[in-house]
Amino acid sequence: GEDVEQSLFLSVREGDSSVINCTYTDSSSTYLYWYKQEPGAGLQLLTYIFSNMDMKQDQRLTVLLNKKDKHLSLRIADTQTGDSAIYFCAESGSSYKLIFGSGTRLLVRP
Q: Which is nearer to another protein, 17 or 28 (CB)?
A: 28
In the Cβ-directed half-sphere of 21, how many Cα atoms lie within 13 Å? 6
Q: Choose, by CB under 8 A, the member of 14, 25, 31, 73 that binds another protein.
A: 31
Q: Which is nearer to another protein, 30 or 81 (CB)?
A: 30
Is 22 an interacting residue with respect to another protein (CB under 8 A)?
no
Is 86 an interacting residue with respect to another protein (CB under 8 A)?
yes
- Rounded distance between C-alpha atoms, residue 82 and residue 46, angstroms: 14
DSSP β-bridge partners for residue 108? 12
